[in-house]
Amino acid sequence: MTAMKTKTKIGWTATFLVFFSVIGCQKFLETPPDMRTVIDDPQKVSELLTSAYPRANYITFMESLSDNTGDKGPSAGAGTAVNRDPWMFQDVQNVSTDSPVNYWYACYRAIAAANQALKVIAEADNPADYVSQKGEALVARAYAHFMLVTLFARAYDPLTADTDPGIPYVTEPEDAVLKKYERHTVSYVYDQIERDLVEGLPLIDDTRYRVPKYHFTRAAANAFATRFYLFKQEYEKVIEHANNVFSGVSIVSLIRTVNTAAFRSMEYYAKQQWHTHFENPANLLLVEAGSIWGRSYASYRYGITTPLLGELFFGANVTGGTYAYMVYGGTELVYNIPKFREHFVTTTINAEYGNPYNMIPLFSGDEVLLNRAEAYAQMGDFDRSIEDLNTFASQKVYVSQNNPVYNPAQHTITRAKLRSFYGSDNLKQNLIDATLDFKRREFVHEGLRWFDILRHKLPVIHQTADRRETYVLGPNDPQRLLQLPEEVVLAGIQANPR
């Protein structure tokens, strides 16, 4: 279904069955999912679970949808569909790498791998030997469904979640062609996600992993929980799970520091590699995804423009200091912050062609801290919210480029600063706004701004470089929901409104 070939432990079973293809037969369905060997011991289940993470990139379309992108103009080219269509708030007319359709399929392939692992565990004679694998499978299944319901359904709203159409929540390996699925409701999907998450998280054993950053460790699962409960508006649970992430470690050690001399002295490509490296302590969960994002995000037509550069990084902020994020490019056509270094895999040793990959940071300490800061504000614990914001700012701002030093006496966020900068006496809202402002800048090129736009129903306005066309995405615009793949709709699943 995609332009890029993807290898998984479960072969193509999920691709054809989850999406109701008529291709296939019972004999095919009886083939072992691994396509090479019978999965009958904990080690083989662990290997299967490496396929339980969506190996596709959501950043391209999420970033284009957000207010972190402007139009560089015709000199930047026409723009590819995956970059252009979301920016114009249109359904992406492309099903290949980096498209929403590609991501949909990748999520359900990951779910199929998790379900196959859970089936093996349930039927094993010695289930006690698979406890940690069961935990990873449940949390991975919950995560993939969460991403699907977030992107392809309305954001969770307690007033409408019981009636808003969700997405199919698949809990069993596919064993029949043309198996019927229901979208259920957003509320139902959230209940299933929470059930899997709550059951799976305590079962995870970090010591089982050879390279923990590529799996749901306890820290990564708790980080996922902070995002989930932030969407669900259960803020005390956001705080609880964030505290679990930071338990026994220095919070600053899990934050990407960008205002030190050591970081500033790193070369461009070293910065790219470090941002998504498994040894970077800020990265809590990474996934390798087939993607051309790393080679393209700087030059895409719809990206960081000169006005956005000033708004995001060179304008005033609540600390009174200067953001330390280093923007490269020298011209609007390629403004970028070095975050992604492509890994290109040739098809053979001497081949000149192959497949490009990027490491995608799914969760980081930065997000967890800012999730907690917002949760504290929502709960009315303003002092702790301010403390978290100051911890974050201490690693992100300095006096100036000529004096790159963080000065607590000058940069500490206070209630008075919040009131003055945001022009409001509503401290709670000021803290939420400050948190969202920090998140918007921290996750430029990573797509996470779209989550906050969805949660807070923020409008997005895109204007073409010549100012002749304006595209507006209102709080209730149906284009905030990505459209389901055509094959899924043709199979009888309700499409999103247009």
Q: Does the pLDDT value for residue 23 go beyond 50?
A: no
In a domain, 384, yes or no: yes
Q: Where residue 390 falls among pLDDT bands split at 50, 70, 90?
A: very high
- Model pLDDT, residue 349: 72
Q: Is the residue at 173 inside a domain? A: yes
Pairing of strands 460-463, 470-473: antiparallel
What's the confidence (pLDDT) of residue 79? Answer: 81
**In this model, does residue 388 exceed pLDDT 60?**
yes
Distance (Å, rounded) from C-alpha 326 to C-alpha 259?
A: 9
pLDDT level of residue 179 (50, 70, 90 thresholds): low
| Residue predicted with more confidence, 353 or 167 | 167
pLDDT band at 176 (very low <50, low <70, confident <90, very high): low
Both 341 and 275 in one domain: the answer is yes
Is the pLDDT at 451 greater than 70? The verdict is yes
Averaged confidence pLDDT in the chain: 91
Pair 116, 133 in one domain: yes
pLDDT in tens, 351-368: 777 899 999 999 999 999
Q: What is the pLDDT of residue 175?
A: 61
As given in the structure block, the two tokens for residue 407 are 């000065």
> Do 40 and 122 belong to one domain?
yes
Residue with structure tokens 């991501």?
103
Tokens 């490509």 — which residue?
269
- For residue 350, the model assigns a pLDDT of 72
Is 29's pLDDT higher than 50?
no
Q: With pLDDT > 70 as the criterion, what percentage of the chain qualifies? A: 92
Confidence of residue 14 (pLDDT cuts 50, 70, 90): very low
The CA-CA-CA angle for residues 69, 74, 77, to 5°, reads 80
| Chain-centre distance for alpha carbon 417 | 31
Asked if 369 and 468 sit in the same domain, the reply is no
Q: How far apart are CA 100 and CA 98, in angstroms?
A: 7
Question: DSSP characters for 225-258?
Answer: HHHHHHHHT-HHHHHHHHHHHHTTS-GGGGS---
Position 192 scores a pLDDT of 98
Neighbours of 301 (CB within 10 A): 23
pLDDT at 464 over 80: yes
pLDDT at 279 over 60: yes
- Looking at the structure, do residues 116 and 4 belong to the same domain, yes or no? yes
Band the pLDDT of 37: cuts 50, 70, 90. low
Q: Is residue 479 part of a domain?
A: yes
Residue 74 lies in a domain: no
The answer to whether residue 420 scores a pLDDT higher than 80 is yes
Considering the domain architecture, whether residues 493 and 408 belong to the same structural domain is answered as: no
State CA 351 to chain mean position distance: 33
Instruction: Specify whether 478 is located in the same domain as 442.
Output: no
pLDDT band at 335 (very low <50, low <70, confident <90, very high): very high
Q: Is residue 363 a contact partner of residue 285, using CB atoms and an 8 Å limit?
A: yes
Identify the residue with better confidence: 225 or 39: 225
- Answer yes or no: are the C-beta atoms of 98 and 291 closer than 8 Å: yes
Do residues 485 and 104 touch, judged by C-beta distance below 8 A?
yes
Tokens standing for 86? 């979301």
Domain membership flag for residue 16? yes
The pLDDT value recorded for residue 54 is: 98
Residue with tokens 């339980």: 52
> Pick from 438, 456, 474: which residue ends a domain?
456
262 and 351 together in one domain: yes
Asked if residue 5 has pLDDT above 60, the reply is: no
pLDDT for the residue 344: 82
Tens of pLDDT, residues 95-116: 989 999 999 999 999 999 999 9
Band of the pLDDT at 15, cuts 50, 70, 90? Answer: very low
Task: Judge contact between 471 and 87, C-beta under 8 A.
Answer: yes
Per-residue pLDDT at 444 exceeds 70: yes
Q: Would you state the pLDDT for residue 343?
A: 87
CA dihedral of residues 448, 194, 158, 227 (deg, nearest 10): -20
pTM: 0.91
**Model confidence at 284, in pLDDT bands (50, 70, 90)?**
very high
- Domain hosting 343: range is 248-456
What total of structural domains would you count in the chain? Answer: 2
Q: Return the closest-CA partner of residue 476 out of 497, 492, 448.
A: 497
Rounded Cα distance, 390 and 83, in Å = 35
What whole-number percentage of the chain has pLDDT above 90?
85
Residue 86 falls inside a structural domain: no
User: What's the pLDDT at 157?
Assistant: 97
Note whether residue 69 is domain-resident: no
- State whether 18 and 155 are in the same domain: yes
pLDDT digits (tens, 9 = 90+) for 239-253: 999 999 999 999 999
Q: Are residues 464 and 345 in the same domain?
A: no
HSE (side-chain half, CA atoms, 13 Å) at 117: 31
Q: Contact, 391 vs 255, CB < 8 A?
A: yes
pLDDT score at 52? 98
Q: For 210-245, how does the pLDDT look when each residue is reduced to its tens digit (9 = 90+)?
A: 999 999 999 999 999 999 999 999 999 999 999 999
Residues 25, 132, single domain; the answer is: yes
- For residue 177, the domain's CATH number is 1.25.40.890
Mark whether 443 and 473 lie in a shared domain.
no
Is 215 part of any domain?
no
Element (H, E) at 363: strand 354-364
